[in-house]
Amino acid sequence: LSEKLSFSLRNISDQGRITEVNIKDTLREVRMALLEADVALPVIQEFISRVKESALSQKVNKSLTPGQEFIKIIRWELINTMGGQNDTLNLAAPPPVVVLIVGQQGVGKTTSVVKLGKYLGERQRKKILVVSTDVYRPSAINQLETLTKNINIDFFPSEIVQKPLNIVHLALTYAKQHFYDVLLVDTAGRLHTNNFMMNEIINIHIAIKPVETIFVVDAMTGQDAAKVAKSFNSMLPLTGIILTKVDGTSRCGAALSISYITGKPIKFLGVGEKIDALEPFYPDRLANRILGMGDTLSLIEQIERNVDYTQAQKLTKKIKQGNSFDLTDFLHQMKQIRKIGGITGMMNQLPGINKLPDSVKLQMQNDKLLVHMEAIIYSMTAQERVNPEIIKGSRKRRIAAGSGMQVQDVNRMLKQFTEMQRIMNKIQKDGIMRSLKKIIP
């Protein structure tokens, strides 16, 4: 997707503003991307029309190209559909806070209970009790007990001959008496079409009044997941969702469908079989993943925050006046780029940055090289900085000695400078700001 998307976005950029005609291709790409990510069709249609409406009514921010502005809108709508921001468990209620975990068979409920217990215990220093009400699968209770063995959460024993309703009563009483902060209740897998099982969970819900009722769903089940979540929600008031096995699929569109269809926030992602593999859900990260664009937008924001405008403008002006790009400019330039690259640490994932020569990318990521470069350039005379061609054998040795570097370091730096100069000649009309924005659509 990202290749195509950036291509059609570039088309918008060339047009100067957002119009119904120039976003048509991009919208088609977005639709394809969402289909590929396995987002349900009605969700896609509604989403596209919302993006369109908001794009056409938007004033384009001066500092962004229309293409960038459009990405921003798409991304914003995606994030909003998924609940806007990270939504964690509500633990503000009087303890013990009861968290009921529900869902179909094999989706990762038991694993998630233990992951959550560990997460809350370690990160939020909560005293955690877990209990299983899965009396239908012979080894289910045992599985929970085994998983809690080496971590710092307590297991409340239950037996398959007991009634689930009984088990939760006992566990809740015990949790109250022993001052637990959180009681996590694991339940048997059930189908929303099974009346007996759905009645059971409804009764458990009434009996223990959970603060959180979390629906666990396997990301790999894609669109079905959304439908199942919806029918669960119609019988049981869900408060949130844990999307599991996100590690096994690139089709993360289920998240979008589920939050859209149920209107419930995804609170956590299961990202592996290990007990540590639980992450709070961040809608913005998933939006980026669905759009396949790395962290383009936050990079744009960082460029805007960090690049020294005055410096960049001076340089642009200088180049426009026909003065050549010299080593002092080079140093400034590298420092600017370094500021951006250093913060994101994600430069290589960016579509545009990838096209820069390796040596330049290296500079962006390497602090030490920059310090060396600076030392070398400061050891030069003013004349040498403006006219690097005159730097030959004896000058090189002097500069190397002066900066505490080797002659080969001086050579390498000069070579990089020549490369940068070449790039600068290409982009000189626009200056660094707009050029960076161009290569990052």
Is residue 109 a contact residue for ligand GDP (CB under 6 A)?
yes
The residue to which tokens 């049981």 are assigned: 236
- Decide: is 277 part of the binding site for ligand GDP (CB under 6 A): yes
Do the annotations mark residue 186 as ligand-binding?
yes
In whole angstroms, give the CA distance from residue 235 to residue 213.
12
User: Residue 264's binding partner, choosing from Mg ion, ligand GDP, none, with beta-carbon cut-off 5 to 8 A by kind?
Assistant: none
Exposed (0-12), middle (13-18) or buried (19+): which is 150, by Cβ within 10 Å? exposed
- DSSP state, 129? E
Residue partners of 117: CB distance under 8 A and separation at least 6: 128, 130, 148, 151, 153, 182, 184
272 binds, among ligand GDP, Mg ion, none (CB under 5 to 8 A by kind): ligand GDP
Q: Which of 20, 273, 276, 301 binds ligand GDP (CB under 6 A)?
A: 273
User: Is residue 271 involved in binding ligand GDP (CB under 6 A)?
Assistant: yes
Angstrom distance (rounded) from CA 131 to CA 141: 8
Angle between helical axes of 367-378 and 327-344 (0-180°, round to 10)? 160
Find which of Mg ion, ligand GDP, none residue 3 binds, CB within 5 to 8 Å per kind: none
| Residues in touch with Mg ion (CB under 5 A) | 109-110
Residues 178-207 as x/- pattern, contact with ligand GDP by CB under 6 A: -----------x------------------
The one-character DSSP state at 109 is: H
Q: How far is the CB of 109 from Mg ion (least distance, A)?
A: 5
Intra-chain end-to-end CA distance of the chain, in Å: 14
> Looking at beta carbons only, is 245 or 338 nearer to ligand GDP?
245
The H or E element containing residue 282 is none
Q: What is the residue type of 243?
A: L
CB 269 within 8 A of CB 88: no
Minimum Å gap between C-beta 113 and ligand GDP is 8
Shortest reach from residue 120's CB to ligand GDP, in Å: 17
Q: How far is the CB of 265 from ligand GDP (least distance, A)?
A: 18
Known binding residue 104? Answer is yes
Residue nearest to ligand GDP (CB): 270
Amino acid at 410: V
Residue from 66, 83, 108, 441 that binds ligand GDP (CB under 6 A)? 108
Using an 8 Å Cβ cutoff, are 225 and 202 in contact?
no
| Residue 110 or 296 having the CB closest to Mg ion | 110
Residues 77-106 binding ligand GDP (CB under 6 A) are 103, 105-106
Kindly indicate which of the ranges 107-115, 193-201, 258-266, 301-309 contains the residues binding ligand GDP, using the contact rule CB under 6 A: 107-115
Backbone φ, ψ for residue 154 (5° rounding): -95, 145
Q: Are 23 and 55 in contact, with CB atoms under 8 Å apart?
A: yes
- Tokens read off for 3: 């290749």
- Nearest-angstrom CA–CA distance, 274 and 164: 27
Number of residues that bind ligand GDP (CB under 6 A): 18
Q: Tell me if 342 contacts ligand GDP by CB under 6 A.
A: no
Is the distance from CB of 224 to CB of 38 less than 8 angstroms? no
Residue 267, annotated as binding a ligand? no
Residue closer to ligand GDP by CB (options 42, 106) is: 106
And the tokens for 102?
């529900």
Selection from ligand GDP, Mg ion, none that 84 binds (CB < 5 to 8 A by kind) is none
Closest alpha carbon to 295 in 214, 227, 335, 351: 351
The DSSP letter of residue 320 is H
Question: Which structure tokens are listed for 305?
Answer: 């925050």
Question: Residue with structure tokens 């006992």?
Answer: 170
276 touches ligand GDP by CB under 6 A: no
Residues of span 230-259 touching ligand GDP by CB under 6 A = 244-245, 247-248
Residue 108 assigned as binding residue = yes
157 interacts with, out of ligand GDP, Mg ion, none, CB within 5 to 8 A per kind: none
In the set 55, 73, 78, 107, which binds ligand GDP (CB under 6 A)?
A: 107
Pick the piece of the chain touching ligand GDP (CB under 6 A) from 70-78, 267-275, 300-308, 343-351. Answer: 267-275
- Report the alpha-carbon distance of residue 332 to residue 322 in Å, rounded: 19
Q: At closest approach, how far in Å is the CB of 115 from Mg ion?
A: 13
For ligand GDP, the closer of residues 105 and 411 by Cβ is 105
Q: Please enumerate, by residue number, every residue annotated as part of a binding site.
A: 103-110, 186-190, 244-247
Which positions lie near ligand GDP, rule CB under 6 A? 103, 105-111, 189, 244-245, 247-248, 270-273, 277
Q: Please enumerate, by residue number, every residue annotated as part of a binding site for GTP.
A: 103-110, 186-190, 244-247
